[in-house]
Amino acid sequence: MSLAFVVRPADRFADDVASTLLDRVATRPSLRLCLPTGSTPAPAYAAAAARGLDLSEATVVLLDEFGGLPPGDPARCDVAIERDLLGRLPRRPAAYVRLDPDVDDVDAEVARFDAEVAAGGLDLVLLGLGANGHLGLNEPGSEVTAPTRRVALDQGTASGALTYGASTAPSWGMTLGMDRIMAAREVWLLVTGEHKAAVLREVLTGPIGASVPASWLRQHPSVTVVADQPAASALDGSPLPGARSRAHAPASW
Ligand code: PGA
């Protein structure tokens, strides 16, 4: 395991994530990058776009998607990634891989997406942290080997989509599997806000297991947990077993 824990002042978080992302892309313009949507990454995406992020040689994989929402719904992940990031960039990614919930054959769509991800692997996966400990839509109960699949949503996840402006609550989801996340070369777990403090403490100091899927990341060979100070506030003074703290690390980790 190699878990680094980076804490940033809330007003530095977006810029520091953006600058580290620009560094990674500069080092490897053709990287295969998996991206989440949601309120956590959106400010970092805005900062990265403002600084001229260029993904024109990169492959972008969209982490997950809601089912049961009409095309164009503002809570859909394909809409959100365009609004928050891709639509702000001067050029499209070289390749863009996403799960389409509007197909007739969802199982075939999952298999197509998963094969495309598996073919080249993932260099860097960015993740938000669900209030229930989910990663993507790997909801509580997801084992470390859980594959890319169609999923039932927790009630809180479904109703939470309404806070993203959904016209109705999504009725199901599709997600990159835990297995692909665990096989990625590098993972960043992004966590902001005091409302995530208790679940982040559980992720980092509680038992590793399916009841808090993000806890599986403690078994990943190269993960960086990047939290703002409010999200890290419940960890003050608690040593993290096995973690390298980079609270005073330079802007890039
Ligand atoms: P958020 O969502 O970034 O909007 O808090 C995170 C998640 O539910 O995965």
Q: What is the pTM of this model?
A: 0.96
**139 labelled catalytic:** yes
Q: Are 165 and 39 in contact (CB under 8 A)?
A: no
Report the nearest atom of ligand 1 relative to the CA of 157.
8
Contact call for residues 95 and 84 (beta carbons, < 8 A):
no
Q: Which atom of ligand 1 is nearest to the CA of 131?
A: 8
pLDDT band at 242 (very low <50, low <70, confident <90, very high): low
- Average pLDDT over all residues of the chain: 95
How long is the chain?
253
Confidence of residue 154 (pLDDT cuts 50, 70, 90): very high
Determine whether 248 is an active site residue. Answer: no
CA distance 218 to 223: 8
Residue 195 designated active-site: no
Q: What is the mean pLDDT of residues 73-85?
A: 98
Q: How far apart are CA 150 and CA 67, in angstroms?
A: 9
Band of pLDDT at residue 136, cut at 50, 70 and 90: very high
Residue 58 per-residue DSSP state: S
Q: Among candidates 41, 104, 97, which has minimal Cα distance to 67?
A: 104
Residue 157 makes CB contacts below 8 A (sequence gap 6+) with 130, 132, 134, 137, 139, 173
Contact present, 39 and 76 (Cβ < 8 Å)? no
Residue of the nearest CA to atom 8 in ligand 1? 130
The half-sphere exposure of 222 on its side-chain side, counting CA atoms within 13 A, is: 11
- Rounded CA-CA distance 203/196 in Å is 10
Question: Is 248's pLDDT higher than 60?
Answer: no
CA-to-CA distance for 195 and 193, rounded, in angstroms? 5
What pLDDT does 237 receive?
A: 63
Query: What number of other Cβ atoms are within 10 A of residue 180's Cβ?
Result: 23
Give the number of other Cβ atoms within 10 Å of residue 205's Cβ: 16
- Tell me how far CA of residue 79 lies from CA of 68, 97, 107, 162, 166, in angstroms: 14, 14, 22, 14, 11
Under the banding of pLDDT at 50, 70 and 90, the label for residue 199 is: very high
Question: Which pLDDT score is estimated for 240?
Answer: 72
**Residue 13: how many other CB atoms lie within 10 Å:** 26
Average pLDDT over residues 171-186: 98
Write the residue with the smallest CA distance to atom 2 of ligand 1: 38
Give the β-pairing of 64-67 and 172-175: antiparallel
